[in-house]
Amino acid sequence: MWAFGFPLVSGLETQRIWGFCAGTGYLCAAVAAFLPPRAPAGSPAGVRAGARAGIRAGARAGAWAGIRAGVGCALAGAVVLPLLYCVLSGRAQSEVGVIERSGQLLLHGHSPYVAHPRTVLDYDPYLPGMAAFGLPRALFGDGGPLLRLLGDARVWCALVLLGCLGQGRRILRTPAAGETAPVEDRLGYGTALAALVASPVVALPLCVSGVDLPLTGLLCLALALAARGRSTAAGLAVAAACALKWTAWPALAVAASLLAHTAGRRAALRFAGVSVAGTLALVLPGVLCSPGAVAEQVVAFPTGRGRLATPARSLLPGRLLAESGPAGWYAAVALLSAGALAVGASLVVRPPSDAVAAADRLALGLCAGFLLAPAGRFGYLALPVTLAVWTRLAGTGSRAGRAAERRAPERGAGREAECRSGREAEDPDTAVRPGREVAVGPGREVRARRAVGGQRAVGGHRAVGSPAGRSASRWPRR
């Protein structure tokens, strides 16, 4: 029902379109998920209709089928249909036009920033790396439906997000030295990832703007690489993210703390050097081409100190403080700095030990920054939410996958016991089950450690002292 509110209250056409499509998809998903579970007619559960185990298996299969059908409906309604409609009809929020204009300027050898901006649409609040997502529009143009789809910046932002999440999942599920390979549950993870993409946290920005999606994907990939001790690759991923938006810069401290705790100080220093050098190499040329425009559009404008007011004016604590006057603006900046120092101190006192802990720490810092910044939007909070949710999905898998991992050692122990029992059955004269003194074979006695009293010895002989065979050792020898 929340999605249906967009057509009623939003002043942006793209959000109204998304709200109608997503609300319909979510409604169909709810109906599909809550339908009574029913096993297919030709399934083993249907054949064993009279057996209790078959009924339970059929119910579970039907429930999972309903969940997957619901996720499919949500994905179609919240992502596929509104994205295709907005792209093919040329509807997008202003961020998409800003990125595509920057790509056009970059392709022709100019600075991605307009020298003398007159309106808010002339401002480019992103770092120079974001202009790369506008290059497809500059290359493919705005011709037929296919070229329009290939040139849209939202499509490439979504592809970078999905590619980074897929690679990060593979890295986190690859066992390190001395670890056992986790049980793969691609079906459960795929369903969970599709549900995350279909949720408003990802689906809404994907369809209407998409500017935060590549940043989110690169940060997830960087944390996965850092958790596995791959400092150089993690530094490159962080550098690519830091070249898009300055909101990625806190990830440098979090990933360095994670590497220092898990891989050592040398790995952390290597990561810091690669990430800083890579960021400077990607950002510095654009800054040197037009330093004044960068200072006005990238620094002053997003913080509410530019010549024109920023449209990021959600009712957040920092923005309310900043609008109370100059003293309120400085108070918001002071609170923002205090939050950053607190998170930084926590990285030193209690560094994160894995990708989930690092994502939680980064999400905490980003939430504090977005809430206390002098200007911001509620949509910015989608980044920390996605970080916290995805690392849990990718690192531990779904519930079915975790249950399979817990059952794996038990199955291994069971197979070992079966093999041991088979060896004992093949050699009954020398094999002994836990018990007391037993007589085994002609003229021989074997003493075993007492574990369970009264158990039968292998080979048809009974343990000494057991209720059923107290005189086992006094049997006549043949």
| Per-run averaged pLDDT (10 residues), the chain, 478 residues | 72 88 90 66 49 50 71 93 93 92 92 89 93 93 88 95 95 71 64 92 92 95 95 96 94 96 94 96 92 91 84 81 87 92 94 94 94 85 93 65 44 51 48 43 42 42 43 44
Q: What is the pLDDT of residue 467?
A: 44
**pLDDT, position 304:** 80
- Assess whether 302 and 162 both reside in one domain: yes
- The three-state secondary structure class of 446 is strand
In a domain, 420, yes or no: no
- Evaluate whether residue 416 is within a structural domain: no
Q: What is the CA radius of gyration of the chain?
A: 31
Helix (H) / strand (E) element for 9: namely helix 6-9
Cβ atoms 306, 297 nearer than 8 A: yes
Q: Which residues contact 110 (CB under 8 A, 6 or more apart)?
A: none
Q: Please give the DSSP secondary-structure letter assigned to residue 35.
A: S
Phi and psi at residue 456, to the nearest 5°: -75, 140
Of 287, 309, 331, the one marking the end of a domain is 309
Instruction: Note whether residue 437 is domain-resident.
Output: yes
- Determine, yes or no, domain membership for 400: no
The full 3-state SS of 259-321, as one line of letters, equals: HHHHCCHHHHHHHHHHHHHHHHHHHHHHHHHCHHHHHHHHHHCCCCCCCCCCCCECCCHHHHH
> Residues 423, 197: contact at Cβ < 8 Å?
no
pLDDT given at position 10: 76
Structure tokens at 434: 């836990």
Nearest to 90 by CA among 17, 8, 170, 29: 17
Q: Locate tokens 């037929």: which residue? A: 144
Number of domains in the chain: 2
386 belongs to a structural domain = no
How many angstroms separate the CA atoms of 364 and 134, rounded? 31
372 part of a folded domain: no
Say if 113 falls within a structural domain: yes
The last residue of a domain, from among 309, 324, 341: 309
- Domain range for 444: 425-478
Q: Which pLDDT does position 297 carry in this prediction? A: 92
In a domain, 333, yes or no: no
Residue ending a domain, among 269, 291, 309, is 309
> How far separated are the first and last CA of the chain, in Å rounded?
86
Q: Where do we find the tokens 């290939």?
A: 150
Amino acid at 461: H
Paired with 446 in beta bridges are 438
